[in-house]
Structure 1
Amino acid sequence: MGFLTVVSVLSLLHVAHAEFSAVRRVALGPRVRETAVIPAAEFSVPISAKTPRRSSKKNALAALRGRTPPTKAPPTGGSSTVAVDGSDFDEEYLTNVTIGGQHFSLIIDTGSSDTWVPQKGFNCFDLDENPVPESTCAFGTAGFDKQASKTFKPFPNVSFNITYGDGEFLSGPVGFDTVQIGGFSVSQQEIAVPNLAAWEGDGVNTGLIGLAFPDLTSVYNTTDPTKASGENQLPYSPLFLSGVKQKKVANPFFSIALSRGSFDQQENDPFDPNLGFLSFGGIAPVPVVNTAVTIPIEGYSATTGIPNNGPGSDFFFYTVNVEGYTFPGSNHVVTANNNTILDTGTTLHFVPTPVIEAYAKQFKPPAVLDEDFGLYLVACNATVPPLSVQIGGKSFTIDPRDEILPAGTDDEGNIICITGTQDGGPNVAEDIFILGDTFLHNVVATFNPVAGEVTLTQRAKY
């Protein structure tokens, strides 16, 4: 999900960022750090579901390939490692969250920062801003009931407003409440409870947990969401950073291990239980090998919007420097870039055009770009070329099972497959590339947003 916000956020950075009331962070460097010693997590919850792929996700891929996304204003009117589930044919990872005593399955997103759940009785719209029945938005519950929470407090005279790159939007009130994920509980957390939503849901999730930086939050000092802008943005502490401030963990780490489902599950079963862990205070509890590295997170220049760790850089995403992609024939193309985001909310792995063009040719038979869909299609039984990603002087391998994914059926009922690695656009400084679930299935990603760094650890084969 996070990748849907990338284009719009960096657009704001170019146009109005000088007027943001955002917290500035000190430049990070050096580029590689001594590998952090990370304790076992204090709290872990299973990722308990993945939600079926929303049609909007397919449309949003166009935004990643450098096309201009549509811009829509809303219409007027007991343990701290939690299991991760999977639905969405293994497209979006969810976990169980309690807000004000009410239970929801929320998308885990390292590519955005807001935690939101629509309020009960919200107004649903289609992507053309036409009112439609509430059921069309297809949330997993009726929404958050403010009246039923004993701990909810409204935040007056502000509003939440977010538009994703595919045209989905949410807007409305903001408040504070207790948010609990397993044994990790944060009191008076700022959350959005939108009453307007254009959402192409899956019948499972009822919102999202954003785990990125404060500068990426979407609350504004206006009661009219249509007037939200960089001038009146009110950055606030996302859920995990609030927990750190409240000393809910001894160490400022959160860690994610996303497990792949089988090909059959991805194609036929919209819900997979126990697809990894979301952990707080340390590393997620899955088997790993010795390959690990701690690297600084890349900031963005306030004037150019290009990754930069100079003074005054702003931090939105978990952006890392990729030193290269290694596969047969990779020595013939330049594969390094430093505008690559670690994003649990993106299923695929989006790399520069020259990289995917060279890599696609190595499948047997070769993967082929479908101009209509803008995706590389591949035979479901193709032989996958080996692929690894070099970060911080370490090489992280991607399992071949992550490189062939079912993507529906054709008119004759035959399964169509796509490659797990896709085209993210030309290899230019302003383009954004993404290490999504194709990559994250193969590592444990442990984030330290306080120190501005992330530790990647290769997972053992599973």
Structure 2
Amino acid sequence: MSELKVSEHVVTLKRGNAKSLSSTYVQAMRGRKLADAGAVRIGTGEAQLLAVEAGQVFLAPVTVGGQIFDVVVDTGSSDPWLVTPDFSCYNPSTGEPEAQADCYFGTPYDPSLSANYQRIPNENFNITYADGETLNGDMAYDTFSLGGITVPRQKFGIVDYVAWYGDGYSSGLIGFAYGTLTSAYQGNDPSQDRRGGTLIYNPLFVNMYNQSLIAPIFALAIDRDPNNGGLLALGGIPDIPHSPNWTSTPIQSVGFFIGTTTPAYEFYTIESDGFAYSASQSTQFNVLGTNNPLKVPISDPETVIVDSGTSLVYAPADVAKGVALAFNPPGYFDKDTNAWYVDCAAVPPVFGVSVEKKIFYVNALDMIIPSSRDLCISGIQSNNGGLTILGDVWMKNVLSVFDIGASMLRFAAREFYPMDYPSVPVAT
């Protein structure tokens, strides 16, 4: 495995309040089984992250063609893309044209201001989300700089057709998933694009390590502090308090490239031993599967996706129900919104995710999510029989290392924050 070195470049992070960004690829597909997920397209350095409160969307500053933008950092997608000044805005629900301001983008990317911009002929950028959002445009090259690391000829999407729920800050997105999820197509007419016809290319992070600019590692430390967003470390890990004990688990491939024995990867998918949850703060869990009557068994093993672009944890229905009912007072299910609601002042249960026989617990502060002025939802919701996703509710409690070189994910428990109600044990 790759050596974990602390990054020398630390940037103070901040949080901004705005309208939440739309679902990422993984969120849009969470109602589908993993096998069908791909059918819907959806040195060292540290970059500043800006957390958009309502949707837990994390933004980082990137320089493209000499212009500086805030972009969404997303481990559930792969493309880098930016919106252009002359984009057309459409309502994702109705398809009706709207004013540009209604798409809520930040500063657009202007190709005319870049000395290195180069449009790629006979290629188009095309993403359609399951919730009706669509992005179309051209493919191009330009110089990208993120976290003090510069890639001179990065391929990316230039978006001029937008049906999008923006956040008011971001001008686009940088995906950190594998190149098999990129969304470039042959030709200039997006209406002629066909499923499975994507032109795979190297995302920004892949180019960084392919060009030996950094080690093939990035790390995420998402912060729950309302004054902070978190840290994205490129080529190493951030210098933050965490357990010295690391748990490593293989990233699961989705098959092999045609005619080769090379594994093909899409999302950051791992095998979990199951979920541990109980209303009692003193519960001991049995992660080894032995018949120990003094310990509570965990749920069945699950294939899970680790995704920073998803706010909540989406678990099997029985787990989401069990967790909600273990709140004090118990939560309730609302059929209209298809969500588990809890009292905003409730005492959360113990909840954790077991990886390689080690439970990583979620801080009680992360278990209750405000959904309106007087209502709160459980941080653990049903996946409706589809993908199981470990989103920010869980990721705030671990230092997540994406070791691409070794095809492993590595986790260390982070320091446990104080709270007003009985504390939950932390994995060490």
TM bucket (normalised to shorter chain) is: 0.7 to 0.9
Q: Pick the aligned partner of 1:205 from 170, 177, 183.
A: 170
Greater RCO (CA < 8 Å, at least 6 residues apart): 1
Aligned residue number for residue 237 of structure 2: 283
Q: Is the 8 A contact 2:40 2:129 kept in 1?
A: no
Q: Is the 8 A contact 2:251 2:407 kept in 1?
A: yes
Q: 1:62 to 1:204 in 2, by over 3 A?
A: closer
Cα distance in 2 for partners of 1:422, 1:374 equals: 9
Aligned residue number for residue 376 of structure 2: 417
Amino acid at match of 1:321: E
Aligned residue number for residue 351 of structure 2: 387
Matched, 1:146 2:111: yes
Q: 1:424 to 1:408 in 2, by over 3 A?
A: same
Aligned residue number for residue 4 of structure 2: 38
Q: Is the 8 A contact 1:124 1:198 kept in 2?
A: yes
Amino acid at match of 1:445: S
Amino acid at match of 2:332: V
Q: Pick the aligned partner of 2:99 from 100, 113, 133.
A: 133
Q: Is the 8 A contact 1:46 1:275 kept in 2?
A: no
Q: Is the 8 A contact 1:47 1:276 kept in 2?
A: yes
Cα distance in 2 for partners of 1:324, 1:72 equals: 27
Cα distance in 2 for partners of 1:49, 1:164 equals: 27
1:261-410 alignment to 2 at 5 Å? Answer: 261-262=225-226, 272=227, 274-301=228-255, 313-328=263-278, 331=296, 334-338=299-303, 340-409=304-373
Aligned residue number for residue 392 of structure 2: 437
Task: Give the deviation of 1:165 after TM superposition.
Answer: 2.3
Q: Is the 8 A contact 2:217 2:402 kept in 1?
A: yes
Cα distance in 2 for partners of 1:275, 1:55 equals: 15
Task: Give the deviation of 1:61 after TM superposition.
Answer: 6.3
Cα distance in 1 for partners of 2:66, 2:236 equals: 26
Q: Secondary structure at the match of 2:319?
A: helix
Task: Give the deviation of 1:371 after TM superposition.
Answer: 0.7
Amino acid at match of 1:135: A
Cα distance in 2 for partners of 1:364, 1:245 equals: 51
Q: Secondary structure at the match of 1:287?
A: coil
Aligned residue number for residue 458 of structure 1: 413
Cα distance in 2 for partners of 1:41, 1:79 equals: 6
Q: Pick the aligned partner of 1:242 from 207, 214, 221.
A: 207
Q: Secondary structure at the match of 1:155?
A: strand
Q: Is the 8 A contact 2:181 2:266 kept in 1?
A: yes
Amino acid at match of 2:355: I
Amino acid at match of 2:378: T
Aligned residue number for residue 13 of structure 1: none
Structure 1 residues 296-317: Cα deviation after superposition (integer angstroms, max 9, x where no partner): 10112479xxxxxx95653110
Amino acid at match of 1:435: L
Task: Give the deviation of 1:220 after TM superposition.
Answer: 0.7
Q: Is the 8 A contact 2:321 2:340 kept in 1?
A: no
Q: 1:50 to 1:112 in 2, by over 3 A?
A: farther
Structure 1 residues 317-339: Cα deviation after superposition (integer angstroms, max 9, x where no partner): 0001110111127857733211x
Larger helix proportion of the pair: 1
Structure 1 residues 20-70: Cα deviation after superposition (integer angstroms, max 9, x where no partner): xxxxxxxxxxxxxxx764111254545444563437449x9685345999x
Amino acid at match of 1:174: M
Amino acid at match of 1:82: A
Matched, 1:85 2:50: yes
Amino acid at match of 1:402: D
Task: Give the deviation of 1:95 after TM superposition.
Answer: 1.1
Amino acid at match of 2:358: K
Q: Pick the aligned partner of 2:86 from 121, 135, 155.
A: 121
Structure 1 residues 213-266: Cα deviation after superposition (integer angstroms, max 9, x where no partner): 0100000112111222245311011110100111111x211111000134xxxx
Q: 1:352 to 1:337 in 2, by over 3 A?
A: same
Cα distance in 2 for partners of 1:359, 1:386 equals: 9
Q: Is the 8 A contact 1:65 1:423 kept in 2?
A: no
Q: Secondary structure at the match of 2:249?
A: strand
Amino acid at match of 1:408: S
Cα distance in 1 for partners of 2:102, 2:132 equals: 15
Moved more, 359-368 or 210-219: 359-368
Q: Is the 8 A contact 1:325 1:387 kept in 2?
A: yes
Q: Secondary structure at the match of 1:422?
A: strand
Cα distance in 2 for partners of 1:42, 1:392 equals: 30
Task: Give the deviation of 1:384 after TM superposition.
Answer: 0.6
Q: Is the 8 A contact 1:153 1:175 kept in 2?
A: yes
Structure 1 residues 427-454: Cα deviation after superposition (integer angstroms, max 9, x where no partner): xxxx311000001100111112232111
Percent of aligned positions that are identical: 31
Task: Give the deviation of 1:182 after TM superposition.
Answer: 2.5
Cα distance in 2 for partners of 1:166, 1:311 equals: 35
Q: Is the 8 A contact 2:27 2:310 kept in 1?
A: no
